[in-house]
A and B are shown apart, each in its own frame.
Chain A
Amino acid sequence: MKNRLKVERAICDLTQQQLAEQVGVSRQTINAIEKGNYVPSTTLSLKLARVFSKPLEEIFQLDEND
């Protein structure tokens, strides 16, 4: 799964810690998602999409391995 979390975070000028606090996870989890080491649940993905006010598909996309 690919994601544009880092880009969207930069656009909104949010730190990992601020984003983590907004969606109720640890900063390390946000970092793991950005690096592609962790695929978030549907609930967390929807929360992240809500923070950036964008549809889910704009932030997360399937890659060739999925």
Chain B
Amino acid sequence: MVKNYLFSPVFRKIGYALLVVALVFFVLCLSFDQLAFGLQYPMISLTPPMDEEWTIFKFYPRITQGGWFEIVMTLMCVGCVFVAFSKEKEEDECIAQIRMQSLVWALMVNMVLVLLTTLFIYGGSYLTCMAVYPFSTFLFFIIKYNISLYQFRKNNEE
């Protein structure tokens, strides 16, 4: 028996719910000027405190006020993984192949975008794009997979 790392089908619904919550939360936070939640916990920074010089490969542990960004990112990470990697109710090897092909396609499209961004976008916008790309991979995969699955079912419905 080949082991796969997929979740049970119910996790897809949980994933969509988490993504909706993340979206609502994101819009709320933007509307209310970045709500702070007072979550304080140790984080690691690559940037030194004001009075220290920057040294490569040195980490500076500090207590930082966590907020909306960390929560939205957490919800999106978990939501994307649940939506993308949940089994179908009727899972079989044909669907596994469609999933694999869609994943390859999504990774390729995303890497082309990373390449184009690296070549043609500079500065802060580049970093913004790079923060989006982990999620765009999932987005491309989810869209491609669902279209392929729909076509497969439609073409073999007779």
Binding site for B on A (CB under 8 A): 24-29, 31-32, 35, 37-38, 40-41, 43-44
A26 neighbours in B (Cβ, 8 Å): 90, 92, 94-95
Cβ of B133 < 8 Å from any Cβ of A? Answer: no
Among B94, B95, B152, B153, max chain A CB count under 10 A is at: B94
Q: Helix, strand, loop or mixed for chain B's interface? A: helix
Q: Please state if B152 and A28 are interface contacts (CB–CB under 8 Å).
A: yes
Total count of chain B residues near the partner, CB < 8 A: 12
B92 neighbours in A (Cβ, 8 Å): 24-26, 29
Q: A64 CA to B152 CA in the complex, in Å?
A: 26
Smallest CB-CB separation from A24: which chain B residue? B92
* Shortest 8 CB-CB contacts between residues of A and residues of B: A28-B156, A31-B156, A25-B92, A29-B94, A26-B90, A32-B156, A29-B92, A38-B94
Q: Please state if A29 and B93 are interface contacts (CB–CB under 8 Å).
A: yes
B156 neighbours in A (Cβ, 8 Å): 27-29, 31-32, 35, 37
